[in-house]
Amino acid sequence: MRDVEKNNYPKASGYLVNGAILTYIAGLLLMIAFCSPYWVKSFDETFSDFKNMGLWEYCFDNYRYPAYQFDHYFDGCHHVFSQEYYVIREFLLPPWLMAVQAFVTMSFLLSFGSQIVMALQLCRWPLEFVLQYEWILSAINFVCITTTTVFMFFAVVVFGGSYTRRDWLMYPNFNFLSWAYGMACLSSFFHAFAAVCLYKEARLSYERRRESKNLIMQMHPNPQHRLGWSMQ
């Protein structure tokens, strides 16, 4: 019994291991892009009032918003939902940027949620639950990572096609996509590669689901059979 439970249960497949590694790399890149204020940056030679921005932070150097009636200069780096940017928040957060924030946030939650499930599968804990429902867990991982890939693709395409809009930051020709945007693009690619591995893992775990079910039955023999054996 103990030998079956500790040594003879099926270990995590190579597809799951590779998919998990790729997902962890993609998640790390996604976290950096999610937190970094360097999606767009201005050229140093332009001496622009706008310095750089990320999904959640803007940095200005004595910037004056033309449509604001008071003579107020925005300076330094602040969170987009801070009190400092309250009066220009509608300007800083156009609908397309809020869509990008939503896509990246949902990707973040799906990616790291799947990583938790994959970690449990790799550790085979709890053992009986993982053996019994591994094909379902693998299918959930595949769906979540595939959805993450699609969301990240939409995020980088929408942002890359909209950051030069003239109804957003002034003088868009002074700005360029920075390294955090590149991290988001790489994260999308790594999630796509991970989705391929997880698809193969889901098919493999579905094919061996009966083997896992039989193994669970061996780990928990029939109590009546055990009772009859002791009476003899």
Beta bridge partners of residue 53, listed in sequence order = 40, 58
Instruction: Report the 10 Å Cβ neighbour count for 126.
Output: 10
pLDDT of 131 above 80: yes
> 221 phi and psi, to 5 degrees?
-65, 160
Q: Are 43 and 211 in contact (CB under 8 A)?
A: no
Q: Are 58 and 78 in contact (CB under 8 A)?
A: yes
Render pLDDT for 133-163 as a digit per residue (tens, 0 to 9): 999 999 999 999 999 999 999 999 999 999 9
Q: Report which listed range, 6-10, 203-207, 220-224, is most confident.
A: 203-207
Residues 6+ apart with CB under 8 A from 184: 29, 30, 33, 39, 104, 152, 155, 156, 159
Q: Which of 1, 16, 3, 20 is nearest to 191 (CA)?
A: 20
pLDDT in the model for residue 69? 80
Q: Which of 150, 231, 218 is nearest to 7 (CA)?
A: 218
